[in-house]
Structure formats: C-alpha cells, structure tokens
Structure 1
Amino acid sequence: MKTAVGRQIVVTLGDVEPGLVTGHLPPDVRFVADPGPEDLRGAAGAIVRADALVDTAMLDRMPNLRVLARTGVGVERVDVAEATRRGIAVVVTPGAGTHAVAEGALAMILHLVKRLGVTTECVARGRWSERGTITLGDLEGATIGIVGYGRIGRRVGHLARAFGMTVLAHDPYLTQPEDGDGDGRAELVGLAELRSRSQVVTLHLPLTPQTHHLVDSAFLAAMPVGSILVNCGRGGLLDLDAAAHALADGRLAGLGLDVFDPEPPTHHPVFDHAGVVLSPHLMGLSAGATRATFTAAAQGVADVLAGRRPAALANPMPVQEEQ
C-alpha cells in the first residue's frame, strides 16, 4: 500500500537497526522501526526478527502486506501457509549467517574439547598444582558427525577437516553421496552409524515434527562415552533432560548450546554443569553476519515490491509487480 504522498511503508517486527536496512530499500519507501497500528495497517512490507510471532492475528493487522522478510532461515514462528493463502511472499536469508554459525559451532567444540572452562579456573583460582589432573582432548584424528548437511553443515565440515577430523554427515534430504559434499570428503551415513562413530556431534537441522527431540536418551546412549554434543540448530532438536542425564553418567563429556526451547529459556540444571558452554542464540549474529542478514532481508523486500523474484523464498510463488 502507498501512503497519501505515494510512499510505501515497510515496518519491522522485532528489533532492527534502521541504518542496516534503509540504504537497501527503494527511495519511495517509508521505513518504520517502531510501528503503531496505523503503520501496520498500511504496511506493504515487513522485516521480521526470529523472535517475532507472525500468526493469523498479526497478519490480520497487516491487510496490505505483500512481503515479509525473515532475518534468518527458521520460519517456525511464521504462519507460512496462511501468508501464502493471502498472497504474501515470505523471504528468508539463508546464506547470511552460514560462516558465523559454523564458526560458532567450532568455537564451542574447541572450548569443550580443550576444556577451557576448567583450565581458566585452574589459573584464576590459584590451582596451578592441579594442572596434571586435567586431560585435554584433540580434534586431529577425531570423528565429527554433522546432523543436517546444508549450507551451515557443509561449512562446519570444511572447518573440521582443517583440524584433521574425519567428517560424517547425515541429512534426511540427501540420499546419494554425490548429493553431499562436492569434494567427496564427507561420508554420508545413517543416523545410527553417525552417532555410534562420532566423538563430536553437531546439530544443524530445521525443527519439524519429525526432528523434535531427535536427540533423546536413546540417541545419547548410542554415542561413545565421553562425547561432545553441540546444538546450533534449534532448541527443540534436543531433549535437555536426556542431555542432563548423559552428562551426569559421563556419556557426554561436554555440551554446547546456542539455541533453546523456548527462548529465552527457563533455568535448567544442565546450565550449571562444568562441561557446558552456553550462548543466547548469538552465533549467527556476528557483526558481519548481522549486516549481511539485514541487507539480504531488505533486498528481498525491495525485490518483491518492485515485482522481482527475491533470492530466497520460503513459499515459492509468483511475484507480481504492483500496478
């Protein structure tokens, strides 16, 4: 919808820094970072943060919406089916945070394998004499199992190989080796084989009814004793109570969590374990990734409003130029 002076309105749902998006929107757009009811009613486009809920009630408040751009790839808080029914394009930004999330997963793995929390305490608390009791692990020669082998999973594999790790991958959408890593250095295996062979497992799947609590007590029981598990995918992929038991009995030596269910999470006993490292869903929000994500979201909105097909849609559909 255009305003009386011919300017289209683009709003934000969630916290968005205007300086990161306004330069990528058309000059005839009025950008509203803190929209009121009238702004929502007139909005033709919206840039949506991960924690914003876009359900039927929210869509009802935006009757003129043509496009919403999600900063990231997860659309579990967006009613994509209803948006599609109303002819609203749902833009996603799949490539912007790829390297940042992969680096975050490796950072957590390194922290846990090299036991940096324990070594820090040893020095900071004056317990230098205990250094001989601390055993550090190695990435070289270890096997990493990557569950979810899309953009982020492949980047994790690339980084892991640089450390001399053997890379296994499992992805329900990949069935042939040629569908996987282009250089053939990741072995695509079944989930049972991956969890039994991997000293490190990292999760990079979307959350669906089929993947909810994919990592449960049975999954963890099949992993080698002393394994490391990292979740930078979605909180619901992991049964946190099962992880707590696996930490207590030594099946898991370390757990890294960047994602939770719900977010923000209520306190869980696992948070207090010495072998746990936590991050408040920030690994995909490095300075560079944040700029890239907002740029991609703004460009997606601009494309749809101009009648162009954006780079990535969660609901592929015709994009028609406004008359």
Structure 2
Amino acid sequence: MPESIQTIVALGPVEAGIVEPLLMPGQRFVPDPDERDLAEARAAIVRAAYTVDAPMLDRMPELRVLARTGVGTERVDVAEAGRRGIPVVITPGSNTSSVAEGVFTHLLALVKRLGDLTSLVRYGQWEDRAEVHVGDLEGHTLGIIGYGRIGKRVERLARAFDLNVVAYDPFADIPEDIRRDDLDQLLRESDFVTLHLPLSPQTRGMFDADRFTSMRRGCILVNCSRGGLVDLDAALSALEDGRLGGLGLDVYDPEPPAHHPVFDHPRVTLSPHVMGFTQQSMANTVRDAVRGALAVLDGRAPTAVAQP
C-alpha cells in the first residue's frame, strides 16, 4: 500500500455508498477489513454492537482515530484509546429528531389505545369500542427528565400538541417557566413522563417502587433513553395497581432482554431499540462519524469527542 493512501475501515456494518462520497483523493474505505486492512487502518468507523478493546487496538497499530456512530461508548475502551493518543469521535445530534418522534410514537399509541382499538376492528368487536377509553394530549402536562438535545426536541414537538411542559435536569439550562428543581414535584404535576438521561450509578434504577409512588396516579411513562433507568418489576407492580397508566419502552438492560412479565401487560408498548435507528438518522450518524474521523486525519478538531 503506497504511503500516501489512508485506509479507513468499518468495524461493523457501514454502507460504502454513504462513506465514499465524503473521502478525499488518497483515501480508501474498506467495509469488510481483513487483518492486513486493520494493520494499515488510520481510521475506524465503529458501530454500536462492535467491541473495541486493547486487543482490538493492538491489531490496528497505525490507527489515528476511532469514530463511533452514536454517543454510547460502553463497548469502546475510551481510556485505553486515550493512552495511545487515539481520540474517540462521537456523533451527538444525528438521531435527535428520530428519538424524539419515537417518544410520541409510544405516547400516542398508549394515550389513544391504538393496540386495543386495532384488536376491536381486527376481531369484529366493533360494539365494544365504548369500553376503550381513548385519551388526549391537548391540555395535559408532559414531564421531560433530561433536558439535552433530545429533551429539547421533545419539548418542541410537545408544543405542537398543545401540551404543557415541565422539565428537570440539574445540569442543564432550562427556561425558568418550565424548570422544576425537584424531581418529585415534576412527577406530581405530570400526566406523561419521558426519560432522556445517561445511565450511571446515580441514575440506574431511579424509577423504582418509591419513584412510582411519587407519580401522579395513572401517569404514562416512556423510556427511549437507557433501559437501566427503570426497574421493570416495580413498573409491573405500578401498572397492576393503577399507579402507572401505561409504559412505553424502546430500551432495555441488557439488550436483547430476557422476557419480562411486564412485556405482556396490555398497557405496555414495546420496540426493540430502533426509535433512533431510522434510515435517515443512520445515514446521518455515519456521515457525522466519517466527517469527524476525516477532521482528525486532517489535523482539525472534530465536533465531539468522548471522554474516559
């Protein structure tokens, strides 16, 4: 391989048709690298399910940058990469709209009882429709927990539904009229709650039995953030006694999850962590990852880098 050629490899499935239009002369993309390609790689585009640890880094001695398609780095040894002088580029914002729309997908399905209504028509039970109580969003209150990019986008969409909005995030700058400094106060005010927090020792299992007791009775909870935020045993108990009016889940801990009895509850909607993985958002996140990697190779600062 000529010295002037820069090899960029994919670690996980990446479409060449998205990457190659962004490359400069003297750069080549290898979507399915062999050991020789890895040994020559200057940059790697890393998908979410791919593990990059010290042994993997040993196979790429020429590597100058890792670019993760997304923001989660649980499978990437960021500290080890840092010790080797390899920045880990991340791509915040590329799926912001997709995840926010996913929140309303679950919320509308639960409030409008879409699953129950589908069954009535499908199984010829039209006369039973009065027994299904369909709700509205207008005039109700949505509590947003975590006011980053996605939380802010959820707020914008909520306004279109004439929802009242309150938000909690001790680390974010929230407008005074919607800010709530006490989480339990937000829960007492909210008819619907959506989670947009990172998973940490402080947030793991934060929605436990005590937290569900703090919620307004009949509240609907949607989690498109991290599965470990919600104790599913406590959620099932809250659904069964009516404290929780509905639960929408796109994320689980671990993934894929073992079957849990809450999955069978009629007031639960489920999706397999795909709300942020639309065709458009996936193309966006790959492009952002490639641009970040190319910036590093060109001596420029990328938009965002993960910290150990």
Q: Fold conserved (TM > 0.5)?
A: yes
TM-score bracket, shorter-length normalisation: over 0.9
Aligned to 2:273: 281
Aligned to 1:76: 74
**In the alignment, is residue 188 of structure 1 matched against residue 180 of structure 2?**
yes
Offset of residue 140 of structure 1 = 1.1
Partners of 2:128 and 2:235 lie apart in 1 by 28
What is the 5 A alignment of 1:1-323? 3-4=1-2, 6-174=4-172, 179-181=173-175, 186-315=178-307
Gaps of 5+ in 1: 317-323
TM-score (norm. length: structure 1): 0.91
Tell me the distance in 1 between the aligned counterparts of 2:299 and 2:39.
Answer: 21
- SS of the equivalent of 1:19 reads helix
Kept after mapping to 2: 8 A contact 1:157/1:186:
no
The whole-number CA distance in structure 1 between the counterparts of 2:75 and 2:66 is 13
- Using the alignment, how far apart are the partners of 1:10 and 1:244 within structure 2? 46
| 1:74–1:206 CA contact under 8 A, matched in 2 | no
Q: Secondary structure at the match of 2:179?
A: strand
Q: TM-score, normalised by structure 2?
A: 0.95
C-alpha distance in 1, partners of 2:203/2:191?
21
Q: Deviations over 1:67-120 (max 9, x none)?
A: 111111122222222211211111111111111110111111111111100111
Gaps of 5+ in 2: none
1:38 Cα deviation from its structure 2 partner? 2.5
2 CA distance for matches of 1:185 and 1:50? Answer: 37
Kindly state the Cα deviation for residue 185 of structure 1 after the two structures are TM-superposed.
5.1
Query: Are 1:146 and 1:169, in contact at CA under 8 Å, matched by a contact in 2?
Result: yes
Report the CA distance between 1:58 and its aligned residue.
2.2
What secondary structure sits across from 1:188 in the alignment?
A: coil
Once the 2 structures are TM-superposed, how far is the Cα of residue 5 of structure 1 from its aligned partner? 5.3
Q: Per the alignment, do residues 56 and 209 of structure 1 end up closer, same or farther by CA in structure 2, a change over 3 Å counting?
A: farther
Distance in 1 between residues matched to 2:56 and 2:221, nearest whole Å? 37
Matched AA of 2:132: I
Q: Distance in 1 between matches of 2:228 and 2:53?
A: 20
Q: Distance in 2 between matches of 1:55 and 1:241?
A: 33
Q: 1:5 to 1:82 in 2, by over 3 A?
A: closer
